């Protein structure tokens, strides 16, 4: 990583740590200045790290990050949960688009053994079973979101043995942490609130985005 990218990466890490600390101490007013900076810094690192001949404004990773950034802001505003949910829904759709578009001469492990993806379906069914009685009018939006993130996780898993191992593992772990983050948020909001849920949600979310970005940088910079 070049010095400029490294500096921006360190800045993203520092703002992430500060934001998590503010979350832990319930300083939501101060988070208005930290949370909105994290994803733009990741976007900056990504754009500087990939082939500059690419049209980054049409890059699915950049579009997914932008939607995530909008979602981050909306979720900080009272009454904007559904618009925030929609923003993250589109973020996952862009990540799905990216994972589906990856190219390789080798076959995915899960293409050869698709039955392994039953675990993702089982996760979705169990999560919906847990949340369904308390969702009220949000049943359909939350179900649509759950299906979308499950597809995103499946698409990430599809990269295993299709892409170089380290890149694929970055995508898989990143998608797993994104799924975990959304699950924690949903359980805390709709099922049973628990102490420091915000810390767990934000920590897993930042790890998820970071790993997906690093994986995408590796993929973009690997000769095809």
Q: Model pTM? A: 0.94
Tell me the three state secondary structure of residue 160: strand
Per the CB < 8 A criterion, the answer to whether 212 and 170 are in contact is yes
Q: Which of 214, 181, 215 lies closest to 12, judged by CA? A: 214
CA distances from 75 to 7, 97, 169, 198 (A): 28, 24, 29, 12
Digit-coded pLDDT (tens) for 152-197: 999 999 999 999 999 999 999 999 999 999 999 999 999 999 999 9
Q: Work out the end-to-end distance of the chain between its first and last CA atoms, rounded to an integer number of angstroms.
A: 21
Per the CB < 8 A criterion, the answer to whether 68 and 210 are in contact is no
Digit-coded pLDDT (tens) for 56-73: 678 999 999 999 999 999
Given a cut of 70, whether residue 131 has pLDDT beyond it is yes
Q: Check residue 54 and give its pLDDT.
A: 64
If one counts the domains in the chain, the total is 1
Domain with 211 in it: 3-220
Which residues does 62 contact at the CB level (< 8 Å), separation at least 6? 43, 46, 47, 56
């Amino acid at each position: 990583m070049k010095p400029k990218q490294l500096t921006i990466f360190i800045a993203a890490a520092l703002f992430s740590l500060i934001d998590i600390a503010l979350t832990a101490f319930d300083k939501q007013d101060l988070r208005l200045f930290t949370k909105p900076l994290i994803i733009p810094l990741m976007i900056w690192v990504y754009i500087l790290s990939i082939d500059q001949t690419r049209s980054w404004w049409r890059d699915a990773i950049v579009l997914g990050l932008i939607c995530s950034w909008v979602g981050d802001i909306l979720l900080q505003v009272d009454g904007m949960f559904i618009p925030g949910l929609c923003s993250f829904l589109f973020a996952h759709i862009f990540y799905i688009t990216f994972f589906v578009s990856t190219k390789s001469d080798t076959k995915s492990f899960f293409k050869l053994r698709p039955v392994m993806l039953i675990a993702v379906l089982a996760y979705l069914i169990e999560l919906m079973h847990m949340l369904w009685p308390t969702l009220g009018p949000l049943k359909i939006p939350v179900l649509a979101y759950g299906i979308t993130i499950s597809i995103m996780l499946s698409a990430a898993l599809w990269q295993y043995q299709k892409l170089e191992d380290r890149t694929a593992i970055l995508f898989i772990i990143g998608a797993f942490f994104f799924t975990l983050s959304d699950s924690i948020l949903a359980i805390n909001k709709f099922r049973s609130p628990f102490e420091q849920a915000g810390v767990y949600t934000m920590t897993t979310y930042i790890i998820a985005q970071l790993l997906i970005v690093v994986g995408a940088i590796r993929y973009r910079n690997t000769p095809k």
